[in-house]
Structure 1
Amino acid sequence: MTTTESGLPQLRGGLFLSDGGLETTLVFQRGIPLPHFAAFVLLGDPTGRQVLAEYFKPYLALAARTPGAGFVLETPTWRANADWGAKLGFDAAGLAAVNRDAATFVRQLQKTWAPRIEGEVVTAGVIGPRGDGYVAEEPGSIDEAARYHQPQAEALREGGVEMLIAVTMTGSAEACGVARAAAAVGLPCVVSFTLETDGRLPSGETLGEAIVRVDGDGHPPAYFQLNCAHPSHFENVLADGAAWRERIRGLRANASTKSHAELDASTAIDSGDPEDLGRRYLRLRAPLSRLNVLGGCCGTDERHLRAIARAWTSG
């Protein structure tokens, strides 16, 4: 499918599911080493590609069993930018090839699964933070961030994704840069912020401040998303009735209530309580009236997505 003149299918409402914690599932549950938590390295050989395909299978099958649901199918390219790529031995040309290949990979999955899923399947190119993702490392300027992220945005577009998503953004400046890069390559963009246990971004900004700043930079995203935080970390900041809450359509929460620092130091996965997580997603319907894109992040797997989908469709 392709996006229509009315924009991304998610903007027209209806439930869209996604996957869970890709990297934590592969590392902690399946014992697959990922250098620097980079899943894109698996695209380099047939065995790795099969691992990725098998990872996505239960999530796509869940969408196929959920009446009316669509699916947002994201590339495994969270670490496929220049700084992380250099640590993994990839030059600019190699990274561009990897990002194009990742886009081709999810498009192939889309082709296989779209006939089985009642809603639309949308391919999304993932752009991760230049830094760690748990620590605020703001760029020198928004223009600098845009220049940095544009090569990855271009490669993902060339590979054929229908949208870009800036995942685990720790501050508004880098998010603005990715939004500018997306506009430059002509793709709709989603910005996904991560939050600390106090509901603020690692940069210290409030969620509302960050959303308003990105929206006001001239290239507003299609919508915003939250990821890599447990709902208990941010439920309180959604209670003030502010208009910016209507810009949030996506949620990919952590399974664990632990802080980023605690998760970073963990040597074992914390899967939390899938049923409780599902109930917490449902409770967020009230403050987030447009929330309709549901996935998971660190520590989540198909159990959590089943619980989320079950709570959402029965609530």
Structure 2
Amino acid sequence: MKLNRLLNSDSRIITDGGLETTLIFHKGIELRSFAAFELLNNPEGREALKSYYQEYIKIARDRNLPFLLETPTWRSNPDWGKKLGYSTEELFEVNKFAVSFFKEMLDGENDLISGCLGPRGDGYQPGVQMSVDEAKGYHVTQIQAFKEAGADLVSAITMNYLEEAVGITLAAKEQGIPVVISFTVETDGKLPSGLSLAEAIQENDRLTESYPAYFMVNCAHPKHFSSVFESSENWIGRIKGVRANASLKSHAELDESETLDEGDKVLLANCYVELDRLLPELRVIGGCCGTDHSHIEKVVEGLV
């Protein structure tokens, strides 16, 4: 399998940065409820998305590296879709279309496309928490759409409590498609639910027979979580990707901010170099809120 081959090599895999913050603050595009998938509904929106991804693909191409494209479907699940006026059938089709449309942009033999899914609720705080079985049932239809469209894998981004992450993992396992689980952490390096990153990864692996292809950390600055990797424990090797925020602000501060904090690009790049020392299996390099292609280019320059 291409994904496993790339993960077992020494190659970096480039992915994108903060899709929604880039579209809103740099491109001036209004997104209802942060739902970038709605741009797939019209030619202008599709062109804006293609332009966004092409900037990151160029970073990968210039260095002869694989590119992993995460579909703009973080919000296209039942609850958020209903709020935006989409039926179950319409969501299924938009999730399939997101994969098929962007596959056409990937002409590298080592490129990957991932069906991206987000939490049922808010990305920064757990809110009402589902059981494992509830989460599995909730997310399985979106995962099925990604598989039918030919995604190489699915990625659950900004997971903030264990049960939802486990449910998604089991749904992907049932569908027979590789899955990546990406946890978000607070400034203390713990999940918003209070669970440590080590506990979340180890328990997810225990309950799913280590099904995830790998784990990631996203939507936090490396300064918030790098200290938890000062360890030689086995779970460290399960982390193969980082999509960090540019800003040093907490999630609460970011929620209240009306302007974009682009952070310090040099500091961010230096932090990724330190993460590379701490995470021996780090392969997938990208960004999250506040990062654009210039942040990722700076980071890649320091690592490649």
Task: Name the TM-score, length of structure 1 as normaliser.
Answer: 0.94
Equivalence map 1:1-315=2 (5 Å): 3-4=1-2, 7=4, 9-67=6-64, 69-110=65-106, 113-114=107-108, 120-137=110-127, 139-219=129-209, 220-313=211-304
CA contact (8 A) 2:20 2:36 kept: yes
- The Cα of 1:98 is off from its aligned counterpart by 0.6
| Aligned-partner residue type, residue 161 of structure 2 | G
- The Cα of 1:140 is off from its aligned counterpart by 3.2
CA contact (8 A) 2:169 2:208 kept: no
CA contact (8 A) 1:138 1:174 kept: no
- The Cα of 1:108 is off from its aligned counterpart by 1.1
- Output the CA distance in 2 between the equivalents of 1:9 and 1:207: 25
SS at match of 2:104: helix
- Output the CA distance in 1 between the equivalents of 2:212 and 2:172: 9
CA contact (8 A) 2:161 2:192 kept: yes
SS at match of 1:225: strand
- The Cα of 1:9 is off from its aligned counterpart by 2.4
- Output the CA distance in 1 between the equivalents of 2:195 and 2:274: 24
- Output the CA distance in 1 between the equivalents of 2:140 and 2:130: 16
Over 3 Å counting, the alpha-carbon distance change for 1:188 and 1:54 in structure 2 is same
- The Cα of 1:131 is off from its aligned counterpart by 0.6
25-34 or 213-222, which deviates more: 213-222
- The Cα of 1:172 is off from its aligned counterpart by 1.2
Deviations 1:159-189 (CA, angstroms, capped at 9, x unpaired): 1111010100001110001101111111000
Alignment RMSD (CA, Å): 1.2
- The Cα of 1:11 is off from its aligned counterpart by 3.6
- The Cα of 1:139 is off from its aligned counterpart by 3.2
304-313 or 7-16, which deviates more: 7-16
Deviations 1:15-64 (CA, angstroms, capped at 9, x unpaired): 10111100000001111000000000000011100000000111000100
SS at match of 1:285: helix
- Count of paired positions: 303
CA contact (8 A) 1:133 1:168 kept: yes
CA contact (8 A) 1:138 1:173 kept: no
SS at match of 1:25: helix
Where does structure 2 lack aligned partners over 5 or more consecutive residues? Answer: none
- Output the CA distance in 2 between the equivalents of 1:199 and 1:177: 23
Deviations 1:78-107 (CA, angstroms, capped at 9, x unpaired): 000000000100010000011001011221
CA contact (8 A) 1:74 1:106 kept: no
- Output the CA distance in 2 between the equivalents of 1:12 and 1:137: 39
- The Cα of 1:197 is off from its aligned counterpart by 0.3
